[in-house]
Amino acid sequence: MKDVNIREFQNMMRRIYFDRDSKRGAIETFDWLVEEVEELGEALGEKNTKVMEDEFADVLAWLASLSNVVNIDLEKAAIAKYSDRCPKCGQTPCKCSFITKK
Residue 4 interacts with Zn ion (CB under 5 A): yes or no: no
Q: DSSP letter string over the chain? A: -----HHHHHHHHHHHHHHHHHHH-HHHHHHHHHHHHHHHHHHHHHT-HHHHHHHHHHHHHHHHHHHHHTT--HHHHHHHH-SSS-TTT--SS---S--S--
- Per-residue binding string, Zn ion, 73-92, x by CB under 5 A, is -------------x-xx---
CB 96, min distance to Zn ion, A: 3
Residue 20 interacts with Zn ion (CB under 5 A): yes or no: no
CB 95, min distance to Zn ion, A: 6
